[in-house]
A and B are shown apart, each in its own frame.
Chain A
Protein backbone atom coordinates (compact mmCIF):
# COMPACT_ATOMS: atom_id res chain seq x y z
CA UNK A 1 0.00 0.00 0.00
CA UNK A 2 2.71 2.45 0.99
CA UNK A 3 5.13 1.44 -1.74
CA UNK A 4 2.83 2.17 -4.70
CA UNK A 5 2.00 5.56 -3.14
CA UNK A 6 5.69 6.36 -2.94
CA UNK A 7 6.17 5.31 -6.56
CA UNK A 8 3.24 7.50 -7.56
CA UNK A 9 4.81 10.41 -5.70
CA UNK A 10 8.14 9.86 -7.43
CA UNK A 11 6.40 9.61 -10.77
CA UNK A 12 4.67 12.94 -10.19
CA UNK A 13 7.83 14.56 -8.96
CA UNK A 14 9.90 13.11 -11.78
CA UNK A 15 9.57 15.95 -14.32
CA UNK A 16 10.80 18.56 -11.86
CA UNK A 17 13.80 16.41 -11.09
CA UNK A 18 14.99 16.94 -14.66
CA UNK A 19 13.38 20.20 -15.76
CA UNK A 20 13.95 23.63 -14.34
CA UNK A 21 10.73 25.60 -14.16
CA UNK A 22 9.89 29.24 -13.80
CA UNK A 23 6.72 30.82 -12.56
CA UNK A 24 6.05 34.32 -13.66
CA UNK A 25 3.50 36.56 -12.00
CA UNK A 26 2.48 39.75 -13.74
CA UNK A 27 0.16 42.26 -12.18
CA UNK A 28 -1.75 44.63 -14.43
CA UNK A 29 -2.90 47.43 -12.13
CA UNK A 30 -6.49 48.60 -12.03
CA UNK A 31 -6.79 52.15 -13.38
CA UNK A 32 -9.30 54.78 -12.48
CA UNK A 33 -9.37 56.53 -15.85
CA UNK A 34 -12.20 57.67 -18.10
CA UNK A 35 -10.93 55.78 -21.12
CA UNK A 36 -9.34 52.46 -20.36
CA UNK A 37 -7.85 50.00 -22.81
CA UNK A 38 -6.10 46.85 -21.75
CA UNK A 39 -2.35 47.25 -22.16
CA UNK A 40 -0.24 45.54 -24.76
CA UNK A 41 2.35 43.51 -22.86
CA UNK A 42 5.52 41.80 -24.04
CA UNK A 43 7.66 39.54 -21.87
CA UNK A 44 11.03 38.33 -22.97
CA UNK A 45 14.45 37.19 -21.79
CA UNK A 46 17.37 39.24 -22.97
CA UNK A 47 21.07 38.51 -23.02
CA UNK A 48 23.64 40.88 -21.58
CA UNK A 49 24.02 42.52 -25.00
CA UNK A 50 20.24 43.08 -24.94
CA UNK A 51 19.56 40.67 -27.77
CA UNK A 52 16.50 38.51 -27.22
CA UNK A 53 17.10 34.94 -26.03
CA UNK A 54 13.43 33.99 -25.75
CA UNK A 55 10.02 35.58 -26.17
CA UNK A 56 7.76 34.45 -23.33
CA UNK A 57 4.54 36.32 -24.02
CA UNK A 58 3.03 39.02 -26.22
CA UNK A 59 -0.47 40.18 -25.37
CA UNK A 60 -2.09 42.35 -28.01
CA UNK A 61 -5.41 42.94 -29.66
CA UNK A 62 -5.25 40.06 -32.10
CA UNK A 63 -8.58 40.81 -33.74
CA UNK A 64 -9.33 43.77 -35.97
CA UNK A 65 -10.74 46.77 -34.20
CA UNK A 66 -13.23 49.16 -35.69
CA UNK A 67 -12.90 52.90 -35.64
CA UNK A 68 -16.09 54.24 -34.03
CA UNK A 69 -16.38 57.22 -36.36
CA UNK A 70 -15.24 56.00 -39.76
CA UNK A 71 -16.21 52.36 -39.30
CA UNK A 72 -12.87 51.49 -40.86
CA UNK A 73 -11.38 48.31 -39.51
CA UNK A 74 -7.96 48.61 -37.94
CA UNK A 75 -5.75 45.65 -37.15
CA UNK A 76 -4.46 45.43 -33.58
CA UNK A 77 -0.96 44.82 -34.93
CA UNK A 78 -0.85 48.54 -35.73
CA UNK A 79 0.05 49.35 -32.14
CA UNK A 80 2.68 46.62 -31.61
CA UNK A 81 5.43 49.15 -32.30
CA UNK A 82 4.28 50.97 -29.13
CA UNK A 83 5.95 48.12 -27.25
CA UNK A 84 8.97 49.96 -28.49
CA UNK A 85 11.78 48.03 -26.84
CA UNK A 86 10.26 44.68 -27.68
CA UNK A 87 9.49 45.87 -31.20
CA UNK A 88 13.07 46.97 -31.65
CA UNK A 89 14.68 43.90 -30.11
CA UNK A 90 12.39 41.24 -31.52
CA UNK A 91 8.91 42.23 -32.71
CA UNK A 92 9.88 43.67 -36.04
CA UNK A 93 11.60 40.39 -36.90
CA UNK A 94 8.50 38.33 -36.09
CA UNK A 95 5.38 37.34 -37.91
CA UNK A 96 2.40 37.62 -35.59
CA UNK A 97 0.77 35.61 -34.15
CA UNK A 98 3.71 33.76 -32.59
CA UNK A 99 2.70 30.21 -31.81
CA UNK A 100 2.60 29.51 -28.08
CA UNK A 101 3.74 33.05 -27.25
CA UNK A 102 1.25 35.64 -28.41
CA UNK A 103 -2.30 35.96 -27.18
CA UNK A 104 -5.10 38.39 -26.48
CA UNK A 105 -4.75 41.34 -24.13
CA UNK A 106 -5.58 40.60 -20.49
CA UNK A 107 -7.63 42.52 -17.94
CA UNK A 108 -6.35 44.19 -14.79
CA UNK A 109 -5.37 41.65 -12.16
CA UNK A 110 -2.81 38.93 -11.49
CA UNK A 111 -1.64 36.72 -14.32
CA UNK A 112 0.41 33.57 -13.88
CA UNK A 113 2.62 31.98 -16.48
CA UNK A 114 4.63 28.80 -16.08
CA UNK A 115 7.50 27.68 -18.25
CA UNK A 116 9.78 24.69 -18.16
CA UNK A 117 13.15 24.22 -19.74
CA UNK A 118 12.14 21.07 -21.58
CA UNK A 119 9.72 23.04 -23.76
CA UNK A 120 9.77 26.13 -25.93
CA UNK A 121 10.50 28.95 -25.36
CA UNK A 122 12.98 28.03 -22.58
CA UNK A 123 14.27 24.82 -24.15
CA UNK A 124 17.87 25.28 -25.19
CA UNK A 125 18.43 28.46 -23.20
CA UNK A 126 22.20 28.44 -22.72
CA UNK A 127 23.69 28.85 -19.24
CA UNK A 128 24.45 32.48 -18.51
CA UNK A 129 23.33 35.85 -17.19
CA UNK A 130 20.02 37.18 -18.42
CA UNK A 131 17.38 39.75 -17.71
CA UNK A 132 13.64 39.14 -17.70
CA UNK A 133 11.92 42.13 -19.28
CA UNK A 134 8.24 43.00 -18.99
CA UNK A 135 7.07 45.90 -21.14
CA UNK A 136 3.58 47.39 -21.13
CA UNK A 137 2.05 50.04 -23.38
CA UNK A 138 -1.52 51.21 -23.02
CA UNK A 139 -3.56 53.09 -25.63
CA UNK A 140 -4.08 56.69 -24.43
CA UNK A 141 -2.11 55.64 -21.35
CA UNK A 142 1.51 55.16 -20.42
CA UNK A 143 4.42 52.90 -21.11
CA UNK A 144 6.56 51.00 -18.63
CA UNK A 145 9.40 48.56 -18.66
CA UNK A 146 10.43 46.43 -15.69
CA UNK A 147 13.48 44.18 -15.64
CA UNK A 148 14.74 41.41 -13.35
CA UNK A 149 18.29 40.08 -13.67
CA UNK A 150 18.82 36.35 -13.18
CA UNK A 151 21.21 33.50 -13.87
CA UNK A 152 20.32 30.41 -15.79
CA UNK A 153 20.00 27.60 -14.97
CA UNK A 154 19.01 28.20 -11.34
CA UNK A 155 21.19 26.34 -8.82
CA UNK A 156 18.67 26.73 -6.01
CA UNK A 157 15.07 27.96 -5.83
CA UNK A 158 15.00 31.71 -6.28
CA UNK A 159 12.20 34.16 -5.66
CA UNK A 160 12.85 37.37 -7.55
CA UNK A 161 10.57 40.34 -7.84
CA UNK A 162 10.28 43.88 -9.08
CA UNK A 163 7.63 46.54 -8.77
CA UNK A 164 6.18 48.57 -11.61
CA UNK A 165 5.14 52.13 -10.92
CA UNK A 166 2.17 52.85 -13.16
CA UNK A 167 1.44 50.52 -16.07
CA UNK A 168 2.69 47.40 -14.26
CA UNK A 169 2.24 46.23 -10.69
CA UNK A 170 4.24 43.55 -8.91
CA UNK A 171 6.31 41.25 -11.12
CA UNK A 172 7.29 37.98 -9.50
CA UNK A 173 9.78 35.60 -11.03
CA UNK A 174 10.30 32.26 -9.28
CA UNK A 175 12.97 29.92 -10.56
CA UNK A 176 13.14 26.27 -9.52
CA UNK A 177 16.02 23.99 -10.48
Chain B
Protein backbone atom coordinates (compact mmCIF):
# COMPACT_ATOMS: atom_id res chain seq x y z
CA UNK B 1 0.00 0.00 0.00
CA UNK B 2 2.69 2.41 1.02
CA UNK B 3 4.69 1.59 -2.11
CA UNK B 4 1.64 2.21 -4.29
CA UNK B 5 1.08 5.57 -2.68
CA UNK B 6 4.65 6.55 -3.26
CA UNK B 7 4.52 5.45 -6.87
CA UNK B 8 1.31 7.34 -7.57
CA UNK B 9 2.66 10.47 -5.96
CA UNK B 10 5.71 10.17 -8.16
CA UNK B 11 3.63 9.60 -11.30
CA UNK B 12 1.47 12.57 -10.44
CA UNK B 13 4.50 14.74 -9.96
CA UNK B 14 5.93 13.58 -13.27
CA UNK B 15 2.90 14.65 -15.23
CA UNK B 16 2.45 18.03 -13.59
CA UNK B 17 3.70 20.56 -16.09
CA UNK B 18 6.31 23.11 -15.09
CA UNK B 19 6.38 22.22 -11.42
CA UNK B 20 8.15 19.01 -10.67
CA UNK B 21 10.32 18.84 -13.75
CA UNK B 22 13.98 19.70 -13.49
CA UNK B 23 13.58 21.53 -16.74
CA UNK B 24 12.90 25.20 -16.47
CA UNK B 25 9.91 26.51 -18.38
CA UNK B 26 10.32 29.97 -19.76
CA UNK B 27 8.65 32.52 -21.97
CA UNK B 28 11.27 34.88 -23.29
CA UNK B 29 10.65 38.08 -25.30
CA UNK B 30 13.05 39.41 -27.92
CA UNK B 31 12.91 42.82 -26.27
CA UNK B 32 10.91 44.44 -23.48
CA UNK B 33 11.25 48.22 -23.87
CA UNK B 34 10.17 49.69 -27.20
CA UNK B 35 10.00 53.23 -28.56
CA UNK B 36 6.70 54.58 -29.65
CA UNK B 37 5.95 55.73 -33.15
CA UNK B 38 7.36 52.61 -34.71
CA UNK B 39 5.85 49.50 -36.22
CA UNK B 40 6.56 47.64 -33.01
CA UNK B 41 6.86 43.86 -32.91
CA UNK B 42 8.14 41.55 -30.23
CA UNK B 43 8.79 37.87 -30.82
CA UNK B 44 8.51 35.34 -28.00
CA UNK B 45 9.94 31.89 -27.47
CA UNK B 46 8.42 29.39 -25.06
CA UNK B 47 10.35 26.31 -24.02
CA UNK B 48 11.28 24.01 -21.19
CA UNK B 49 15.04 23.67 -21.01
CA UNK B 50 17.89 22.87 -18.71
CA UNK B 51 19.75 26.00 -19.75
CA UNK B 52 18.38 29.51 -19.51
CA UNK B 53 17.53 30.72 -22.15
CA UNK B 54 18.73 28.14 -24.62
CA UNK B 55 16.37 25.64 -26.19
CA UNK B 56 17.46 22.08 -25.49
CA UNK B 57 14.46 20.06 -24.40
CA UNK B 58 10.93 20.68 -25.61
CA UNK B 59 8.54 23.42 -26.71
CA UNK B 60 5.85 24.72 -24.37
CA UNK B 61 2.29 24.34 -25.65
CA UNK B 62 0.69 27.67 -26.44
CA UNK B 63 -2.95 26.56 -26.12
CA UNK B 64 -3.44 28.61 -22.97
CA UNK B 65 -1.62 31.73 -24.09
CA UNK B 66 -3.32 34.94 -23.02
CA UNK B 67 -2.05 38.32 -24.17
CA UNK B 68 -3.54 41.37 -22.48
CA UNK B 69 -3.02 44.89 -23.83
CA UNK B 70 -2.68 48.13 -21.85
CA UNK B 71 -6.44 48.77 -22.20
CA UNK B 72 -7.31 45.30 -20.92
CA UNK B 73 -8.26 43.97 -24.36
CA UNK B 74 -7.05 40.51 -25.35
CA UNK B 75 -4.68 40.34 -28.32
CA UNK B 76 -4.06 37.55 -30.79
CA UNK B 77 -0.49 36.41 -31.24
CA UNK B 78 0.68 36.06 -34.83
CA UNK B 79 2.93 33.59 -36.66
CA UNK B 80 2.37 31.00 -33.98
CA UNK B 81 4.68 28.05 -34.50
CA UNK B 82 5.69 24.95 -32.63
CA UNK B 83 9.20 23.73 -33.27
CA UNK B 84 10.94 20.66 -31.94
CA UNK B 85 12.69 22.63 -29.22
CA UNK B 86 10.61 25.73 -28.75
CA UNK B 87 7.31 27.37 -29.58
CA UNK B 88 7.25 30.91 -30.86
CA UNK B 89 4.88 33.71 -31.73
CA UNK B 90 4.93 37.38 -32.63
CA UNK B 91 3.07 40.22 -31.00
CA UNK B 92 2.21 43.47 -32.76
CA UNK B 93 2.14 46.32 -30.24
CA UNK B 94 -0.17 48.99 -31.57
CA UNK B 95 -1.09 50.91 -28.44
CA UNK B 96 1.34 52.53 -26.00
CA UNK B 97 1.62 50.96 -22.58
CA UNK B 98 2.44 47.68 -20.91
CA UNK B 99 1.36 44.26 -22.19
CA UNK B 100 1.10 41.06 -20.20
CA UNK B 101 1.85 37.79 -21.95
CA UNK B 102 0.94 34.69 -19.95
CA UNK B 103 0.74 30.95 -20.32
CA UNK B 104 -1.75 29.96 -17.65
CA UNK B 105 -2.23 26.27 -16.97
CA UNK B 106 -4.92 25.23 -14.56
CA UNK B 107 -6.15 21.70 -14.31
CA UNK B 108 -6.62 18.48 -12.42
CA UNK B 109 -4.42 15.42 -12.55
CA UNK B 110 -5.64 12.04 -11.40
CA UNK B 111 -4.22 8.56 -10.90
CA UNK B 112 -6.53 5.60 -10.37
CA UNK B 113 -6.85 1.87 -10.79
CA UNK B 114 -9.62 0.86 -13.16
CA UNK B 115 -12.00 -2.12 -12.91
CA UNK B 116 -9.43 -4.38 -14.65
CA UNK B 117 -6.82 -3.46 -12.07
CA UNK B 118 -4.77 -1.30 -14.46
CA UNK B 119 -3.16 1.93 -13.34
CA UNK B 120 -4.51 4.89 -15.27
CA UNK B 121 -3.72 8.57 -15.49
CA UNK B 122 -6.20 11.28 -16.22
CA UNK B 123 -5.90 14.99 -16.91
CA UNK B 124 -8.74 17.48 -17.22
CA UNK B 125 -10.87 20.10 -15.55
CA UNK B 126 -13.34 20.02 -12.67
CA UNK B 127 -16.22 19.89 -15.17
CA UNK B 128 -14.82 16.73 -16.74
CA UNK B 129 -14.20 14.77 -13.53
CA UNK B 130 -17.05 12.47 -14.62
CA UNK B 131 -14.66 10.94 -17.15
CA UNK B 132 -13.04 9.00 -14.31
CA UNK B 133 -15.02 5.73 -14.14
CA UNK B 134 -17.34 5.43 -11.16
CA UNK B 135 -15.83 2.04 -10.28
CA UNK B 136 -12.23 3.35 -10.26
CA UNK B 137 -10.21 2.59 -7.14
CA UNK B 138 -7.39 4.46 -5.40
CA UNK B 139 -8.42 7.70 -7.08
CA UNK B 140 -6.02 10.49 -6.26
CA UNK B 141 -6.71 13.91 -7.71
CA UNK B 142 -4.34 16.84 -7.57
CA UNK B 143 -5.12 20.38 -8.58
CA UNK B 144 -2.46 22.38 -10.38
CA UNK B 145 -2.38 26.09 -11.17
CA UNK B 146 0.68 27.54 -12.76
CA UNK B 147 1.52 30.47 -14.95
CA UNK B 148 4.45 31.71 -16.94
CA UNK B 149 4.47 35.43 -17.48
CA UNK B 150 6.33 38.13 -19.36
CA UNK B 151 5.82 41.88 -19.71
CA UNK B 152 6.69 44.23 -22.57
CA UNK B 153 6.15 47.98 -22.89
CA UNK B 154 5.69 50.26 -25.87
CA UNK B 155 6.36 53.90 -24.96
CA UNK B 156 5.29 54.98 -21.50
CA UNK B 157 4.79 52.10 -19.05
CA UNK B 158 1.27 51.58 -17.74
CA UNK B 159 0.05 49.48 -14.84
CA UNK B 160 -3.37 48.19 -15.95
CA UNK B 161 -2.04 44.69 -16.64
CA UNK B 162 -0.13 44.58 -13.34
CA UNK B 163 -3.27 44.43 -11.23
CA UNK B 164 -3.76 41.07 -9.53
CA UNK B 165 -6.56 38.76 -10.65
CA UNK B 166 -6.98 37.12 -7.27
CA UNK B 167 -6.45 33.52 -8.44
CA UNK B 168 -3.54 31.25 -7.73
CA UNK B 169 0.01 32.36 -7.13
CA UNK B 170 0.70 35.68 -8.77
CA UNK B 171 3.33 38.37 -8.68
CA UNK B 172 2.33 41.98 -8.30
CA UNK B 173 5.16 44.25 -9.38
CA UNK B 174 5.72 47.19 -7.05
CA UNK B 175 8.62 48.29 -9.25
CA UNK B 176 7.43 48.30 -12.85
CA UNK B 177 8.64 45.10 -14.58
CA UNK B 178 9.87 47.05 -17.60
CA UNK B 179 11.78 49.55 -15.50
CA UNK B 180 14.53 47.32 -14.16
CA UNK B 181 18.18 48.37 -14.19
CA UNK B 182 21.41 46.78 -13.07
CA UNK B 183 22.52 47.83 -9.60
CA UNK B 184 19.06 49.01 -8.61
CA UNK B 185 16.63 47.31 -6.27
CA UNK B 186 13.24 46.17 -7.49
CA UNK B 187 10.33 45.28 -5.24
CA UNK B 188 7.63 42.70 -5.89
CA UNK B 189 4.71 41.21 -3.97
CA UNK B 190 3.46 37.66 -4.21
CA UNK B 191 -0.19 36.88 -3.67
CA UNK B 192 -1.88 33.52 -3.14
CA UNK B 193 -5.51 33.77 -4.22
CA UNK B 194 -5.34 37.51 -3.72
CA UNK B 195 -3.80 37.46 -0.23
CA UNK B 196 -0.13 38.15 0.61
CA UNK B 197 1.94 34.98 0.20
CA UNK B 198 4.32 35.27 3.15
CA UNK B 199 7.46 33.16 3.68
CA UNK B 200 7.37 32.10 0.05
CA UNK B 201 10.70 30.96 -1.38
CA UNK B 202 11.54 32.73 -4.61
CA UNK B 203 14.34 31.71 -6.94
CA UNK B 204 15.92 34.12 -9.38
CA UNK B 205 18.44 33.06 -12.00
CA UNK B 206 20.26 35.07 -14.63
CA UNK B 207 20.19 33.76 -18.18
CA UNK B 208 23.31 32.44 -19.84
CA UNK B 209 23.69 29.48 -17.45
CA UNK B 210 25.34 27.52 -20.26
CA UNK B 211 28.27 29.89 -20.20
CA UNK B 212 29.11 29.73 -16.52
CA UNK B 213 30.09 26.97 -14.12
CA UNK B 214 27.68 27.82 -11.34
CA UNK B 215 23.97 28.40 -11.44
CA UNK B 216 24.40 31.43 -9.14
CA UNK B 217 20.83 31.13 -7.93
CA UNK B 218 19.49 33.95 -5.85
CA UNK B 219 17.23 32.62 -3.10
CA UNK B 220 14.76 35.08 -1.63
CA UNK B 221 11.89 34.83 0.83
CA UNK B 222 8.80 37.00 0.97
CA UNK B 223 7.99 38.95 4.14
CA UNK B 224 4.68 39.17 6.02
CA UNK B 225 3.26 41.33 3.23
CA UNK B 226 4.34 38.83 0.59
CA UNK B 227 7.00 41.29 -0.50
CA UNK B 228 10.62 40.85 -1.44
CA UNK B 229 13.25 43.05 -2.96
CA UNK B 230 16.04 42.14 -5.32
CA UNK B 231 19.06 44.17 -6.40
CA UNK B 232 19.94 43.15 -9.93
CA UNK B 233 23.64 42.32 -10.04
CA UNK B 234 24.07 42.77 -13.80
CA UNK B 235 22.07 43.53 -16.91
CA UNK B 236 20.45 40.62 -18.69
CA UNK B 237 17.41 38.41 -18.92
CA UNK B 238 16.34 36.88 -15.59
CA UNK B 239 14.10 33.94 -14.70
CA UNK B 240 12.03 34.13 -11.54
CA UNK B 241 10.16 31.20 -10.05
CA UNK B 242 8.14 30.34 -6.97
CA UNK B 243 6.20 27.18 -6.23
CA UNK B 244 3.91 25.90 -3.50
CA UNK B 245 2.99 22.30 -2.90
CA UNK B 246 0.51 20.53 -0.60
CA UNK B 247 -1.87 23.46 -0.49
CA UNK B 248 -5.56 23.21 0.29
CA UNK B 249 -7.43 22.58 -2.96
CA UNK B 250 -10.31 24.71 -4.19
CA UNK B 251 -11.79 21.78 -6.10
CA UNK B 252 -13.72 19.58 -3.64
CA UNK B 253 -12.51 16.17 -4.87
CA UNK B 254 -8.85 17.12 -5.12
CA UNK B 255 -6.48 15.92 -2.44
CA UNK B 256 -4.00 18.73 -2.74
CA UNK B 257 -3.13 21.75 -4.79
CA UNK B 258 0.16 22.73 -6.36
CA UNK B 259 0.89 26.21 -7.58
CA UNK B 260 3.67 27.72 -9.61
CA UNK B 261 4.60 31.12 -10.95
CA UNK B 262 7.38 31.88 -13.37
CA UNK B 263 8.31 35.17 -14.99
CA UNK B 264 11.05 36.47 -17.24
CA UNK B 265 12.41 39.97 -16.62
CA UNK B 266 14.83 42.00 -18.65
CA UNK B 267 17.27 44.11 -16.65
CA UNK B 268 18.89 46.91 -18.62
CA UNK B 269 22.36 48.39 -18.17
CA UNK B 270 22.70 51.85 -16.65
Contacts and interface: CB of A to CB of B under 8 A. Distances in A.
20 contacts: A74-B38, A75-B37, A75-B39, A77-B36, A77-B38, A78-B35, A79-B35, A81-B35, A84-B268, A85-B270, A87-B33, A87-B35, A88-B181, A88-B268, A91-B35, A92-B36, A92-B155, A92-B156, A92-B157, A145-B270
Contacts of A93: 156
Contact of A81 (B34, B179, B269, B270): B34
Contacts of A85: 270
Q: From B36, B268, B269, name the one whose CB has the most chain A CB atoms within 10 angstroms.
A: B36
Nearest to B96: A92
A87 B181 CA distance: 13
A149 interface: no
Contacts of B33: 81, 84, 87
A78 B38 contact: yes
B32 to A, nearest CB: 10
A96 interface: yes
B146 to A, nearest CB: 32
Interface residues of A, number: 17
Given A84-B269, A88-B179, A96 B157 contact: no
Interface in A71-106: 74-75, 77-81, 84-85, 87-88, 91-93, 96
Contacts of B157: 92
A74 B38 CA distance: 7
Nearest to A97: B37
Contact of B38 (A75, A87, A92, A145): A75
A81 B155 CA distance: 9
B31 to A, nearest CB: 8
Contacts of B181: 88
A81 B179 CA distance: 12
Nearest to A82: B35
A86 to B, nearest CB: 11
Nearest to B38: A78
B183 to A, nearest CB: 13
Contacts of A87: 33, 35
A91 B156 CA distance: 9
A80 B269 contact: no
A91 B96 CA distance: 13
